[in-house]
Structure 1
Amino acid sequence: MTATVFDALDVQQADGAGPVAFGGVLGPEELLAAYRRGLFPLPAADEYAGAYNEALYGESVDAGEVALLPGAADPYVLAWWSPDPRPVLRPDAVRLPRRLARRLRGAVEWWTTADRAFDEVLTGCAEGRQPVWLTAELRQALVGLKARGAAHSVEVWEGGELIGGVFGVAVGPVLSLDSMFHRRPDAARVAVADLGARFAAIGGRLLDAQWDGPYVRSLGAVPMERSRYLAELAAAPPTGGWDGARLPVARLC
């Protein structure tokens, strides 16, 4: 494997409640290398947000507690995080509330696909979000990973209308849940459940929710120590290929 700027980072010992590093390049190869090291990016929306990062974390950088990576004119516009603990879900055990399961059994117009509308899912995930972290540069890198077979999406459809979705990056037996969206109530939950079912079918072991919180806990996420999470990343990847077929949501109930 080609050496990267992330190899010199001691992610294992880094602060689990703050950024591990700032700077670097946000291209497809660099992005995949970061995910392999247990890192994910949080770009700043603009130079003012970058200045806020510098004001907030500049002393930690000066003290050597947070690294500065080469390659960026203003390193503070791109942060790399690796929370500890990490919220994770078993892909075959995403929770759907009973009232939603009952409703989905009759939702004959709801269907799911995988990797059929990746760009549209990115657009849905970026709509109306503040602060803006899914920048044009990050979107371009993710599209590059999709072309390499490393980034995936699940789409939820009502008839011919895209009403929800989720996307993430696969590393070994772990698939990240980078972002999700809905245009109908609970469509994002359905997208995550479908993504989990498809990933479990090919041997995937974990869904990585990245940021902890009530919503991902309601899906079934539990905290995992970063040391164990990094060990999971290094395990053998699934051997099967993704099935992007159009499938009814009722099968998830």
Structure 2
Amino acid sequence: MTTNAITPDILLRAYAAGIFPMAERRDDPEIHWVDPRRRGVLPLDGFHISRSLRRRILTAPWRVTADTAFAATVDSCADRDETWINDTIFSLYMALHHRGHAHSIEVWEDDTLIGGVYGVTLGTAFFGESMFSRRTDASKLALAYAVHRLRAGGFTLFDTQFLTPHLRSLGGIEITRADYHRRLAAALQSTARFHPPGYSPAPSDVVSSA
């Protein structure tokens, strides 16, 4: 599709149809749509916290925030040798963020952004787009906080698009395209909140819910 023809509304309709955009590389202006035959999902009731991650969550002197540095999180996810996030995709996610349909979890060491994850929300589905880590376990910690927040907000589906060994170690599974579309259709029938009223978890809350 011609990149200038893609609007935030078209992008949301694409997610609702079960497809998502990718570019071949950051400097490639073209975007193609993806609908994998096998889809990665992270069951919100099956997130696995290892002993080492549990210790990290409970003892690391890191600060976790939500939606305070969305642009920096997306940019950090794209700051690698190979990335599918080109300028058009970056701009589209910024537009969705301003509309309340794209969110980020950020991990900080003092004032330095060291990890994070971001994704798109629609109904009770969270479409995880990318994550990054500049310290050991920083992206895993961000995912743990994201899962806790999504459960608290009433989300039912965490779409990871593909299943990597990293995600498998955290409880991720792979399902068929047909199964994914069934789960997505159900998730689009209701609503959830990325910022539940009064939500302010302690590290002990995050580890105890896994």
Q: Common fold, TM-score beyond 0.5?
A: yes
TM-score, normalised to structure 1's length?
A: 0.73
What whole-Å deviation, never above 9, does each CA across 1:14-59 have from its counterpart, x for those lacking one?
Answer: xxxxxxxx55633211111111100011123378x68xxxxxxxxx
CA shift, 1:148, in A, is 1.0
1:118 counterpart residue number: 70
Match of 2:206 in 1: 252
Residue in 1 that maps onto 2:161:
210
For residues 164-219 of structure 1, what are the alpha-carbon distances to aligned partners after superposition, in whole Å with 9 as ceiling and x for unaligned?
00001112221111100011111001111111111111111121110122111112
> Alignment identity in percent?
35
Query: Residues 196 and 45 of structure 1: is their aligned pair in 2 closer, same or farther, counting only changes over 3 Å?
Result: same
* Corresponding position of 2:98: 147
Aligned to 1:129: 81
Pairwise CA distance, 1:240: 3.7
- The answer to whether 1:185 aligns with 2:136 is yes
Runs of 4+ in 1 over 4 A off after TM superposition: 243-248
Query: Is 2:6 the partner of 1:29?
Result: no
Structure 1 vs Structure 2 CA RMSD: 2.2
C-alpha distance in structure 1 between counterparts of 2:8 and 2:46, whole Å: 30
Cα displacement string for residues 91-137 of structure 1 (whole angstroms, at most 9, x for unaligned residues): 24322221221233222x2121111110110111011231x321111
* Secondary structure of the corresponding residue to residue 199 of structure 1: helix
Report the TM-score when normalising by structure 2: 0.87
* Compared CA separation, residues 190 and 139, structure 1 to 2 (3 A): same
| Structure with bigger gyration radius | 1
Partner of 1:97: 50
Q: Distance in 2 between matches of 1:248 and 1:162?
A: 20
- Opposite residue 221 of structure 1, the aligned amino acid is G
Aligned residues: 203
Unaligned runs of 5+ in 1: 1-21, 51-76
Give distance in 1, aligned partners of 2:106 and 2:144.
11
How far, CA to CA, are the matches of 1:252 and 1:46 in structure 2? 34
For 2:22, the aligned partner's letter is: L
